[in-house]
C-alpha cells in the first residue's frame, strides 16, 4: 500500500482508492497470511482520517457503507492487535427481511467484501443462517445474467460453504459456471478469485 500511495500524483486520490477498496485491501494478508507492516497500517489509518468512516446513528442510505467501514476498521484492528470496533447497527436493518429473498440477496451482494477467509461478525452470521435464500439469490442472478451480483453472491456461497454450512447448490460447480461467464471486469474477477480460494480451502 505504501508503494501504491507513493506512485500517485495526488496522495488524497490514492487514499480515496484505499477507502473504496475497503476490506479487500487486506486480502494478501488474510489469504496468504502475510503480516501487515506498520507503514501499510498507517496508510489505512490515513485513509480513514482523509475520508472519515460512518459512525454513530446510521441513516438508511448509509447502512451499506457503514458496514463496509466497520469491516475495514475491524480487520485493521485484528491485524494490528488494536482494540475492536463497535458494530454500526442491527444487520437486519441493512439486509432486510429474508422472506423478500430477491431484495435480501442484492443487499448481501453489496456486502461481498465482508465475505473473506476467517470472516466473522453479525452480517456473516445472518447470511450463513439463510443458505436457501442465499442460493436462491445467486441462481436468480445467474439466470438473469447479472454476473456482477452473481460473482459477489458466489463469494458468499463459497464462504458459507467453507464455514461448514450445508447448501442446496454445489459451490464448486457454481464457481466454475460463473467463471466461464464473468468476463474481465476486475471487481468480478476479484470476487471470483476469493470464492475459488474459499472453495479450495473448505
pLDDT score at 111: 97
Under-50 pLDDT residues of the chain: none
| Spatial CB neighbours of 159, under 8 Å, sequence gap ≥ 6 | 115, 116, 117, 119, 124, 195, 198
Q: For the segment 136-146, what is each residue's pLDDT rounded down to a tens digit? A: 999 999 999 99
Return the axis-axis angle of helices 38-50 and 11-21, rounded to nearest 10°. Answer: 100
Q: What is the pTM of this model?
A: 0.93
Report how far residue 25's alpha carbon sits from residue 29's, in angstroms, rounded to the nearest whole number. 9
Contact (Cβ atoms closer than 8 angstroms) between residue 109 and residue 74 = no
Report how far residue 147's alpha carbon sits from residue 169's, in angstroms, rounded to the nearest whole number. 17
pLDDT score at 202: 60
Nearest to 121 by CA among 160, 51, 71, 64: 71
Report how far residue 98's alpha carbon sits from residue 84's, in angstroms, rounded to the nearest whole number. 28
pLDDT score at 115: 97
pLDDT score at 101: 97
Contact (Cβ atoms closer than 8 angstroms) between residue 95 and residue 108 = yes
Nearest to 96 by CA among 74, 63, 59: 63
Nearest to 114 by CA among 123, 105, 106: 123
Q: Which residue has the cell 496468504?
A: 32
Amino acid at each position: 500500500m505504501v508503494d501504491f500511495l507513493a506512485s500517485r500524483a495526488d496522495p488524497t486520490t490514492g487514499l480515496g482508492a484505499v477507502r473504496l477498496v475497503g476490506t479487500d485491501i487486506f486480502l494478501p494478508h488474510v489469504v496468504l497470511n502475510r503480516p501487515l507492516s506498520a507503514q501499510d497500517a498507517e496508510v489505512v489509518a490515513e485513509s480513514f482520517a482523509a475520508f472519515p468512516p460512518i459512525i454513530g446513528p446510521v441513516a438508511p442510505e448509509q447502512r451499506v457503507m457503514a458496514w463496509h467501514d466497520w469491516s475495514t476498521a475491524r480487520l485493521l484492528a485484528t491485524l494490528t492487535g488494536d482494540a475492536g470496533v463497535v458494530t454500526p447497527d442491527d444487520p437486519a436493518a441493512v439486509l432486510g427481511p429474508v422472506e423478500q429473498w430477491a431484495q435480501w440477496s442484492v443487499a448481501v451482494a453489496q456486502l461481498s467484501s465482508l465475505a473473506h477467509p476467517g470472516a466473522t461478525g453479525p452480517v456473516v452470521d445472518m447470511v450463513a443462517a439463510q443458505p436457501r435464500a442465499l442460493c436462491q439469490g445467486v441462481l436468480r442472478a445467474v439466470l438473469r445474467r447479472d454476473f456482477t451480483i452473481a460473482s459477489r453472491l458466489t463469494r458468499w456461497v463459497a464462504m458459507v460453504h467453507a464455514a461448514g454450512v450445508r447448501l442446496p447448490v454445489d459451490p464448486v460447480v457454481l464457481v466454475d459456471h460463473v467463471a466461464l461467464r464473468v468476463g474481465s471486469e476486475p471487481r468480478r474477477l476479484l470476487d471470483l478469485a476469493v470464492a475459488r480460494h474459499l472453495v479450495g480451502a473448505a
